[in-house]
Amino acid sequence: MIQVAVLSGKGGTGKTVVTGALAEFLPGKKVFADCDVEAANLALILSPRERARIPFFGLKKATIEKKSCVACGLCAHACRFGAIRNGIDGSFYVDPVRCEGCGVCAGVCPERAIVLLKKQDGEIICADTDLGPLVYAELSPGSGNSGLLVHEVKKEAQKEVRDHDLLLIDGPPGIGCPVISTMSGIDTVVIVTEPSIAAMHDLKRLVMVSRGFSLSLCAIINRADLHGGYAQTIERFCADEGISLLGKVPFDPTIQDAVSKGVPVTRFGCPATVAFREIAANLSGILGEKASDRLKGRNE
Ligand code: SF4
Ligand code: SF4
């Protein structure tokens, strides 16, 4: 099974629309995972039928037991994350959003007034779609640990794989912990970028991070005709870096219409859909070579 993640150095590049189009046009049996856990939108395109919800518990958080606390302030002094606050009544309390669960405060408290407790940070949803199984998540408001949740979403999606050929992941934006968690153990990254200086900057950072995982890299330039000159600059960068350019998608208002109606853009015979079909064929060729290389390696 080949694992592919669609990523972008920043949000708003059209990554989920691209993933939805690849889900439709790539051949073979596919499983999908939405690892953009802070804004999981792939479900809006793939119309899932829920099968199961699994509670997600992130890292433990500190809690101060008021009856034992003597308000000495040692814990607030020791917490490097500034998670222990002093209330207007002089009592100390933990800000759960800042708490990283390191346990230092519990170690320094002379009254043993601090305990570390697990709390539910969200849910992982396993579903079926017309194109294959989909695993995605809902993170509770204010909850962190999204890197850990990405890991759990991938783990659940891998359980769905069985005889499937491809795990296609809609990844998170940026280059932070959730992206690192998405990249671990996969084969290929498809980077969705745009013709702009900001997107180029983010593309370079994402390429640099991907290199650390020795992944094969492909790119798609979305809305390529909005700044043709800059699209050429990105094409040259891809060629210099050995990144396979899968294709360019023109700016197409049909995409926005389709997204607002919750309908896959691939249902329309618009210019973007024509481009997506060609992009999927190019990616399929690259993944086919990868699969046969892997088979050869096993037989040698
Ligand atoms: S170290 Fe313990 S006793 Fe002191 S303020 Fe913190 S919780 Fe209260
Ligand atoms: S567990 Fe760590 S991060 Fe959380 S309040 Fe205690 S010292 Fe701060």
Q: Average pLDDT in the 23-39 region?
A: 93
pLDDT > 90 in the chain, percent: 69
114 in ligand 1 pocket by Cβ < 6 Å? yes
Q: Could you name the CATH architecture of 2-57+127-299?
A: 3-Layer(aba) Sandwich (3.40)
Closest CA to 3 of 136, 149, 219, 171: 171
Closest-CA residue, ligand 1 atom 6, reads 75
Closest residue CA from atom 2 of ligand 2 = 102
Task: Round to whole Å and give the CA distance between 35 and 21.
Answer: 17
Q: Which numbered atom of ligand 1 lies nearest the CA of 71?
A: 5
Fold classification of 61-118 (topology level) = Alpha-Beta Plaits (3.30.70)
pTM assigned to the model: 0.86
Residue 105 near ligand 2, beta carbon < 6 Å:
yes
- Report CA torsion sign: 16, 43, 174, 287: negative
Q: Check if the beta carbon of residue 185 is closer than 8 Å to that of residue 48.
A: no
Residue nearest (by alpha carbon) to ligand 1 atom 3? 69
Any idea where the domains of the chain sit in the sequence? 2-57+127-299, 61-118
Does the C-beta of 225 come closer than 6 Å to ligand 1? no
pLDDT digits (tens, 9 = 90+) for 134-160: 999 998 877 766 888 999 999 999 998
Q: Is the pLDDT of residue 208 over 80?
A: yes
